[in-house]
Chains A and B, each alone.
Chain A
């Protein structure tokens, strides 16, 4: 069975600083990997996804993530944090055989300091 571990339930960075949110996955077969963002009182918005091909994927709002099979990681980064990035971020995994059954990590709350 697949699973996702997000390291750090809360990350705080200064505005303009690098954002790094960590995600490790466990899967017996090549997974599809996702990052979602959730703003207060809203649903989830897809930031980016990895399915096959290029291991560095770019998403919306300047975020990107790199799939590293050897490290079973899919960390999310953004070079320069903006106040509007403050939100909850979820890493998620699914398998093509049950593609709609997404397994989510526990989430990381990102705070931005002025």
Chain B
């Protein structure tokens, strides 16, 4: 069974721009969660989608948003990028508490 895939793997954007990251979950998984990983803050939960509805949300500003499609694929969007948004963004799909992570998208904001 194929794992979680994330595209693109690497991205360079300029401050003020917006970016969209994509995540395809493991077949059959209806839950998709997003995490931000930075050296300073570690791994932080962004939000979770289940059956196209946001089910949980972390403590991030409204510039961070997401959505999930009927085929369970998910996208997250960051508007008005700031230098501090540079991070590894990890997507996880799962069944209840067991989460399977993708390789991440490395976003660099210059």
Interface residues of A (CB under 8 A from B): 32, 36, 41-46, 49, 51, 90, 94, 96, 98-107
Interface size class of B (residues with CB under 8 A): 20 to 34
Interface residues of B (CB under 8 A from A): 4, 31, 33, 35, 42-45, 48, 50, 55-56, 58, 90, 92, 94, 96-104
**Does B104 contact A43, Cβ atoms closer than 8 Å?**
yes
Chain A residue contacts of B98, Cβ below 8 A: 46, 49
CA distance A49 to B56 in the complex (A): 21
**Does B48 contact A101, Cβ atoms closer than 8 Å?**
yes
**Does A43 contact B102, Cβ atoms closer than 8 Å?**
yes
CA distance A41 to B88 in the complex (A): 9
**Does B33 contact A104, Cβ atoms closer than 8 Å?**
no
**Does B42 contact A107, Cβ atoms closer than 8 Å?**
yes
Indicate which residue in A49, A96, A100, A107 contacts B31 across the interface (CB closer than 8 Å). A100
Indicate which residue in A45, A51, A94, A105 contacts B101 across the interface (CB closer than 8 Å). A45
